[in-house]
Chain A
């Protein structure tokens, strides 16, 4: 059981960090895509959505080649900051963040686009700074949609398997997340352990989905 709890804790840590990163990145990118007009906006949106449709193995390979010891980014990070991502839990966070990113920024973009510009204009007329308008008007109006997306991103990051296995490996206690532990248990014929792990994963995923459903943007419309 200790082993199962350690995997669970690691999965939660990785998914939590990935979701925190996606909160910042998703809101920023979602807002930029919703408000800014620039050439190649649709192309950028498509490129950023790629991790959702690309096989995790393809993504894992890209990451391995990019941040590995021989990859240019990997070498740069190692030489200048002493950071190693391959075979570390931070590497798992990187993989989970990228895989779940489309689930964070897409709903954020939609949520920002759904904000009625009249509210913002009213605030502007009242002389509030642009920064304050974002944090006091736009974000509060969009946060339900953003949060619902983030919960889905959390669930996706929590269940991430393919890219993580390729980039972070499967080191018990260090990078062996719940989904990888399930895979290893099944491969080794440890069905009892697999059952425990699968049950844990399912409970958490159902809880996250229930929460996401409660926060879905439709709820606001129903109430008013």
Chain B
């Protein structure tokens, strides 16, 4: 009888694996943090239109998502907040180049807590003494940090405020720190600022030479390329675009 226990365990594992196979129309989408609210709603709309499909999301900084995919995460669709990260994924052969499309645009803004008494009208105002902490995505892996660094470099302000920077793991962490009044200002996207109107306010739109365009693409080792294409199309359909617009994104 003793042999029965390993057998049972084996049977259970086998069952668990077959369950996985039964839900074949399941899609895993890795998307930039700034997309979380909009994509969750797009996911619901997608599941409503294709009732047999399931879509699960994995939100993080685009740079972190690429590393997960590179290490073998079973992702079907990747949506990045910048071209650079997608270029990296394409160069490493992680995504199928011909499935890559831009699907949204955004703006970089500097936000301050609603209660803030500081006058911040442009980047050089960040140098004033009253500003002690500025939240910014880590430029090494977070696109919003990279955009912010571009803007600060162009204004020759990066070195001046580097000591005030609180580096965050994704754009939403920067938003949260400003909303909690833990920092004096933060760099986020306009679509993020719009989520917390009662807590943060936009000080100004940060000027950038490049456009903030979001690309999405199918991964090369997607186990469900048909559904991946369908989701990719759905995001760019009128329904998908309407939801993105509702959350403050612009058309590509």
Contact = CB atoms under 8 A, between A and B. Distances in A.
B47 interface: no
B169 A187 contact: yes
Interface residues of A, number: 17
Interface string A28-72: 000000000000000000000000000000000000100011100
Dominant SS among interface residues on chain A? loop
Contacts of B61: 187
Contacts, number: 50
A69 B67 contact: no
B64 A187 contact: yes
Interface stretch (A148-156, A165-173, A197-205, A212-220): A165-173
Nearest to B67: A189
B167 A86 contact: no
B66 A189 contact: yes
A62 to B, nearest CB: 13
Interface string B160-174: 000001111100000
A89 interface: no
Contacts of A188: 63, 67, 138, 140-141
Contacts of B165: 171
Interface string B30-69: 0000000000000000000000000000000101101100
B133 A184 contact: no
Contact of A70 (B64, B66, B166, B180): B180
**Looking at A70, A171, A189, which has the most chain B CB atoms within 10 Å of its CB?**
A189
Interface string B127-152: 00000010000101100000000000
B182 A86 contact: yes
A186 interface: yes
B96 interface: no
B250 interface: no
Nearest to A65: B180
A56 to B, nearest CB: 14
A84 to B, nearest CB: 9
A187 B67 contact: yes
B162 to A, nearest CB: 10
B140 A184 contact: yes
**Looking at B61, B66, B67, which has the most chain A CB atoms within 10 Å of its CB?**
B67
A170 B133 CA distance: 13
Contacts of B182: 64, 68-70, 86-87
Interface in A99-150: none
B70 interface: yes
Contacts of B63: 187-189
Contacts of B133: 87
Nearest to A86: B182
B251 interface: no
B166 A87 contact: yes
Contacts of A87: 133, 166, 182
A102 B23 CA distance: 43
A33 to B, nearest CB: 35
B180 A187 contact: no
B99 interface: no
Interface in B73-112: none
A16 B75 CA distance: 41
A72 to B, nearest CB: 14
A70 B181 contact: yes
Contacts of B180: 64, 68-70
Nearest to A190: B140
A86 B167 CA distance: 13
A118 B166 CA distance: 57
Given A187-B67, A190-B140, 16 more contacts: A69-B180, A69-B181, A70-B180, A70-B181, A86-B182, A87-B166, A169-B168, A170-B138, A170-B168, A171-B165, A172-B167, A187-B61, A187-B64, A187-B140, A188-B63, A189-B141
The 6 A-B pairs with the shortest beta carbon distances in the complex, nearest first, are A188-B140, A187-B64, A187-B141, A188-B141, A189-B67, A169-B166
10 contacts: A64-B180, A69-B181, A86-B182, A165-B169, A169-B166, A170-B138, A187-B63, A187-B64, A187-B140, A187-B141
